[in-house]
Chains A and B, each alone.
Chain A
Amino acid sequence: MSDFAVDVRGVSKRFRLVHGQYNSVKERIIHGGRRKTTEDFWALSDVSLTVKEGETVGILGRNGSGKSTLLKCICGVLQPTKGEVAVRGKLAGLLELGAGFQQDLTGRENIYLNGSLLGMSKREVDRVFDSIVEFSELEEFIDGPVKFYSSGMYVRLGFAVAVNVDPDILVIDEVLAVGDERFQRKCIDRVMQFQREGRTILLVTHSADQVRSICDRGVVLSHGRLVAEGEPGEATRIFRERLMAEGGGMSIAEPAVVASPATVEALEALPDEERPVRLRSVHRLYSGDNTVPYMRTGDDMTVRVEFEALHAVDDVVFSIEVRDDAGNTVMRTDTSIVGIVINAPRGTSVMHFGIVDMPLLDGSFSFAIGIQSRGGILYDWREDAGQFEVMNPSKVTGSIHMNVHAALISSESAVDSAAVAQSL
């Protein structure tokens, strides 16, 4: 093991949830010396993650899943309760842009202060000073106090300093979502340049698309545990699935904490008892005119899923995920959301997804089919289970069809007609 950049080894972090914090002596005496009534909360439990040199890893997770805590442990802002993090090389953390700026100092002074906070010597800052200013586009304001900066300028300066620290490892916590669109683009370009230069990047994001487009690998955190790790596509899919499962009001007695296999290969390597239900085949049928290789907007479509159960399995959830040709998910749903319970009998069975009144306009789309337990344990998954093409016969443009009604409502004529009605 010599090529890691960041090695997270069994890190756990405990927070004490406080019910009434007694921070003064008086309060403590009143409460019998007990500091506070606490409840332990493990923000991270036994997370291990190895990031190789030059790799870009995206960390996905809902709010409160422990993403930021993990990054803080990696950056050394928080110390883990258990376990350790080994970091090889110079690390720059962008946990918050412009953290540590002093309102009363000028931009120039803050660059030096922030630079030294991030571990640069004065000479190093001298060397990159011009490129920081250039990147932040604050040439005219650099000698004014930062308290007069707009929030956009503030953030620009913060990012400019951080990327110019010349780190080997860049840790970014959702800060790419700041500033105007043009500057965001610039930041992402800079991140990509870092990638090309062979630097290691760890990125926390809510945006699955960002993971898809930037990262080499994605990991999914849920309830402080690392639940999935793999190709960005896979990771985002699992993340979405969890988001749905946890947020969709499904009745999960206990959130599933089984590491979902990240790739199909890994899935296939699982022993039979862990995946009792498997896909056999998937077919797509257009409802209307089957002589053309496409369907029309408004037509129906059926997806026929043939599956095999090694033994009778109760409450199996089938999911379908429709993607456009850019890979963006157009829709994802599953049988539990639709509201049916499928108990798979032993042997081969068939289920149907019927999509009625196709709302999509032009385009070719693909879909993925998954089988899982209600608790979220993935049994099988087929990424490219089928394609379909939609032809839009109407003059409507855009991506989906909506039922639009139009009417002229004039209050004056309404009054008139009321008057007419009365006079009659």
Chain B
Amino acid sequence: MALDVPASPMDEDRALEVDTEVRVADDTAMAAEAAGLSARQAARGSVTRIVTPTISVRKRLRELWLSRELLIYLVRTEIKVKYKNSVLGLVWSMVAPAMTLAIYFFVFQIVLGNHVPNFVIFLFAGLLLWNLFQLGVLTGTGTVVNNAGIVKKVSFPREILALASVGSACVFFFFQAIVMVIFMVILHHGPDWSYVPVLLLALVTGVVLASAIAVLLASINVYLRDTQHLIEVILTAWFWACPIVYAYQQQIGNRLGPKGLTWVYFLNPLVPLVLSFQRCIYADTTVKVNGVPYDVLPTKDMIWYVGLDVGVLLLAACLFVVALAIFGRLEGNFAEEL
């Protein structure tokens, strides 16, 4: 919160608040430039930062925005540190999911005899989003504790640490997306281009949701270190609650639908996002397996996808605000708890 003073044009949004004073100060500053040291006194004096027991969410959001450059550095650092001294570096972020994919492919398509065409693409579509979410939440949860050194000694919006974890997960997402594109080209499987905006919407929603959860858990983890381990377990279960390695329509929709219980499945906010990804990337809703029709995705129109995604986005945004408020409440004692 200490990263202040509108000295550069970049900080204009903040300067607005004290607009008149700043302008006056600027004039004085110019006049005083020759005088040297009084320039300093003239240029400042306009911004008063107040450290109080609590900080409003609005202020937090603004501070986050002002610290966006720091976010970039932290993301960069996290990635650099992760792949320090490794020859392949970021390539590993592509090798690992490719390997996962190969195993799933082997297990589902060869061992279990699933004959859904291009099942790899289907898998990858879901995994892309899932990996982003899981990595962001998992590393984000531990981040405040792991960066105790900075948290205890330097003042900055600490939520940035959790956001940086999600940010680096986004970078890995990007590299995995490249792998997927390669697969798609090899397998001659084109996406449904009209659904690309839906995919982007789902991506943004996923990032916001992961950020909200990461910020929330990062602060709770300071007080209750079990959070870190608990979330690993929860994420494992959560993975299977998402239609990633199985086709939603065939396994869930067609079974729960007649009983009117699909809404239970949709309590999982990741479901619409995963479905959106699959709808765009895998494109086909119904395929033929050994000549028999096989429902992969719900045969709904775009409005259905968009509606659900927007719903989750709103939910995630609310959660994010709540997470910031809770984080702010807990942050006051971080330095002593760590």
Contact = CB atoms under 8 A, between A and B. Distances in A.
Do they bind each other? yes
A372 B25 CA distance: 49
Interface string A93-105: 1011001101011
A109 interface: yes
B150 A90 contact: no
B53 A82 contact: yes
Interface string B152-163: 111110000000
Contact of B50 (A2, A81, A86, A116): A86
A76 B1 contact: yes
Contacts of A117: 70, 73, 150, 154, 156
B55 to A, nearest CB: 8
Looking at chain A's contact residues, is the secondary structure mostly helix, strand, loop, or mixed? loop
A160 interface: no
B335 interface: yes
B45 A89 contact: yes
B47 interface: yes
Contacts of A243: none
A88 B48 contact: yes
B10 interface: yes
Interface string A26-53: 0000000001000000000000000001
Interface residues of A, number: 51
B73 to A, nearest CB: 5
Given A105-B80, A119-B4, A89 B47 contact: yes
A119 B2 contact: yes
Interface string A281-321: 00000000000000000000000000000000000000000
Interface in B1-15: 1-5, 7-8, 10
B8 A123 contact: yes
The size bracket of the interface on B is 35 or more
A196 interface: yes
Contact of B77 (A2, A80, A87, A113): A113
Contacts of A23: 223-226
Contacts of A15: 336
A90 B51 contact: no
Nearest to A53: B41
Contacts of A2: 45
A88 B44 contact: yes
A79 interface: yes
B194 interface: no
A199 interface: yes
A73 interface: yes
A349 interface: no
Contacts of A196: 37
Contacts of B152: 77, 99
B309 interface: no
A87 B2 contact: yes
A168 interface: yes
A38 to B, nearest CB: 12
B292 interface: no
A390 interface: no
A104 B50 contact: no
A241 interface: no
Top 9 closest pairs, chain A to chain B, by CB: A119-B3, A99-B153, A79-B332, A89-B44, A76-B155, A90-B5, A100-B150, A85-B51, A116-B70
19 contacts: A2-B45, A25-B226, A35-B223, A54-B41, A76-B1, A76-B49, A78-B332, A84-B51, A87-B4, A88-B49, A91-B4, A102-B81, A104-B81, A105-B77, A105-B80, A105-B81, A112-B73, A119-B2, A198-B41
